[in-house]
């Protein structure tokens, strides 16, 4: 991994984050989660290029703080749904990296037995109600999970992630409206990473203000620095408390940036290298947290280095596990399409 304390962490341009009120345990937990996501993504990317992971991949490098800040504010029984770019949310929700990696490889040992893959990760038993390959769709599932929580009074909160591209999908605003009028325990997190595939946010977003659109539906809407895990966590914790208190949904627009292209192998002809470098240098969310932890003397650098080594070993083991796992049995192809048996003679 490229996180070793070095030039990146020392860069004068790296903006510090406010860790007041954050203890060493919390800081270590955030750092471990974010470093794991960074390590997982940077390890998986070349495996996609080599064809060892089939089907492409959308890397969440640069967006670690949104997942860790938001999911860290949830209870284990709470629910999240993600977008096509959701490895960070999946890892933050506690799915093991070896199992996720096996799913990416299409192996039987993945949590979905290879039926989901990179874009459709889920584990309902852990409150992960799916990454979703269709822009905006995950929010709809979170909406429904929140409806069930409200009707059956489970006390659960649901979080639906979306991107800036989804802000131009009409049904997203159907979802926001329904959550608002039914006062559902939903937290809506828009990760605005400035690009919808290759199209800049500013080119396609009328009014230029996603949170502003949301506020028109009668729910609190906030913008937050999505590359500052502490700031994300503070606003998410407030939104979760509001939802848990049956006060209704909250919309959070987390301003962030995608370090890589839309997908692995993207040639990135639509933005300059300088632009990417400026974002990395000023606000790489992992390096900002790392530097601020050291500056605040919350953890010694040696502790952070030990965490780096641990997550590197964890991800290396995940690749080994995925590589050595079996593929699904071909005889299982038609299993579990429906609950009832559709295999009436001649029907398949």
Partner 1 sequence: MSERATLSQAYRQGLAEEMRTDPRILVYGTDLFERGGHWGQVRGLGSEFGRDRVRNAPISEAAMVAAGVGAAMNGLRPVVDLNFIDFAFGAMDEIINQAAKIRFMWGAPMPLVIRGTNGVAGGGAQHNNSFESWFAHTPGLLVAMPSTPADTKGLIKSALRGEDPVIFLMHKLLAGLRGEIGGAEDLVPFGRGTVRRPGRDITVATYGVTVPRSIAAAGQLASEGIEAEVIDLRTIAPLDLELVEESVRRTRHLVVVTESQRHGGIGAEIAAALSESLYDVLDGPVLRVGAPSVPVPHSAPLLVLATPSADDIARSLRAATAARVS
Contacts of 347 (CB under 8 A, 6+ apart): none
Q: How many residues bind partner 1 (CB under 8 A)?
A: 49
In the set 115, 223, 234, 244, which binds partner 1 (CB under 8 A)?
A: 115
The reply to whether 76 sits near partner 1 by the rule CB under 8 A is: no
CA torsion sign for 263, 265, 266, 272 is positive
The reply to whether 189 sits near partner 1 by the rule CB under 8 A is: no
Long-range interactions of 119-122: CB distance < 8 A, separation 24+: 119/55, 119/58, 119/84, 121/82, 121/86, 121/87, 121/90, 121/95
The reply to whether 145 sits near partner 1 by the rule CB under 8 A is: yes
Interacting span for partner 1 (CB under 8 A) from 18-26, 129-137, 218-226, 271-279: 129-137
Interacting span for partner 1 (CB under 8 A) from 59-67, 123-131, 233-241, 320-328: 123-131
- Of 115 and 271, CB closest to partner 1: 115
C-alpha span between 36 and 315 (Å, rounded): 8
Q: Which of 73, 86, 76, 79 is nearest to 37 (CA)?
A: 86
- Of 3 and 172, CB closest to partner 1: 172
In the set 161, 175, 201, 251, which binds partner 1 (CB under 8 A)?
A: 175
- Six-digit token pair at 164? 């800036």
E-assigned strand segments in 173-220: 186-192, 195-196, 199-200
The reply to whether 217 sits near partner 1 by the rule CB under 8 A is: no
Q: Which of 164, 133, 120, 128 is nearest to 145 (CA)?
A: 128
In the set 22, 79, 100, 240, which binds partner 1 (CB under 8 A)?
A: 79
Interacting span for partner 1 (CB under 8 A) from 30-38, 92-100, 113-121, 222-230: 113-121
Interacting span for partner 1 (CB under 8 A) from 94-102, 171-179, 224-232, 280-288: 171-179
In the set 106, 130, 165, 249, which binds partner 1 (CB under 8 A)?
A: 130
The reply to whether 174 sits near partner 1 by the rule CB under 8 A is: yes
C-alpha span between 104 and 115 (Å, rounded): 10
- Six-digit token pair at 52? 């060892």
The reply to whether 342 sits near partner 1 by the rule CB under 8 A is: yes
The reply to whether 182 sits near partner 1 by the rule CB under 8 A is: yes
Task: Give the pairing of strands 158-163 and 199-200.
Answer: unpaired
The reply to whether 126 sits near partner 1 by the rule CB under 8 A is: no
Angle at 63 between CA 67 and CA 262, to 5 degrees: 125
Residue in the block written with tokens 């131009």: 168
| Residues within the interface to partner 1 (CB under 8 A) | 79, 81, 112, 115-116, 120, 122, 124, 129-130, 132-134, 137, 139-149, 151-152, 154, 156, 158, 170-171, 174-175, 177-178, 181-182, 336-342, 344-347
């Amino acid at each position: 991994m490229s996180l070793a304390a070095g030039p990146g962490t020392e860069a004068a341009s790296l903006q510090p984050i406010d860790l007041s009120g954050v203890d060493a345990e919390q800081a270590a937990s955030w750092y471990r989660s974010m470093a794991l996501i960074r390590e997982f993504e940077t390890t998986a990317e070349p495996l996609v290029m080599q064809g060892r992971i089939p089907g492409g991949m959308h890397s969440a490098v640069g967006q670690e703080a949104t997942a860790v800040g938001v999911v860290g504010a949830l209870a284990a029984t709470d629910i999240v749904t993600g977008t096509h770019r959701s490895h960070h949310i999946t890892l933050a929700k506690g799915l093991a990296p070896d199992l996720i990696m096996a799913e990416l490889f299409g192996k039987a040992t993945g949590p979905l037995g290879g039926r989901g893959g990179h874009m459709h990760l889920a584990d309902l038993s852990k409150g992960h109600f799916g990454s979703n390959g269709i822009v905006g769709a995950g929010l709809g599932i979170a909406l429904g999970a929140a409806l069930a929580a409200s009707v059956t009074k489970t006390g659960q909160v649901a979080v639906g992630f979306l991107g800036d591209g989804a802000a131009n999908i009409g049904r997203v605003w159907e979802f926001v409206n329904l959550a608002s009028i039914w006062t559902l325990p939903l937290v809506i997190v828009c990760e605005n990473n400035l690009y919808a595939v290759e199209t800049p946010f500013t080119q396609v977003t009328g009014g230029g203000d996603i949170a502003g659109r949301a506020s028109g539906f009668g729910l609190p809407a906030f913008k937050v620095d999505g590359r500052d895990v502490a700031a994300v966590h503070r606003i998410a914790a407030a939104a979760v408390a509001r939802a848990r208190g049956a006060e209704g949904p909250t919309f959070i627009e987390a301003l962030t940036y995608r370090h890589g292209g839309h997908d692995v192998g993207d040639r990135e002809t639509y933005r300059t290298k300088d632009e990417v470098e400026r974002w990395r240098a000023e606000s790489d969310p992992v390096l900002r947290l790392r530097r601020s932890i050291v500056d605040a003397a919350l953890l010694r650098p040696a502790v952070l280095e030990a965490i780096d080594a641990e997550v590197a070993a964890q991800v290396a083991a995940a690749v080994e596990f995925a590589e050595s796992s079996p593929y699904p049995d071909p005889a299982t192809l038609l299993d579990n399409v429906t609950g009832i048996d559709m295999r009436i003679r001649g029907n398949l």
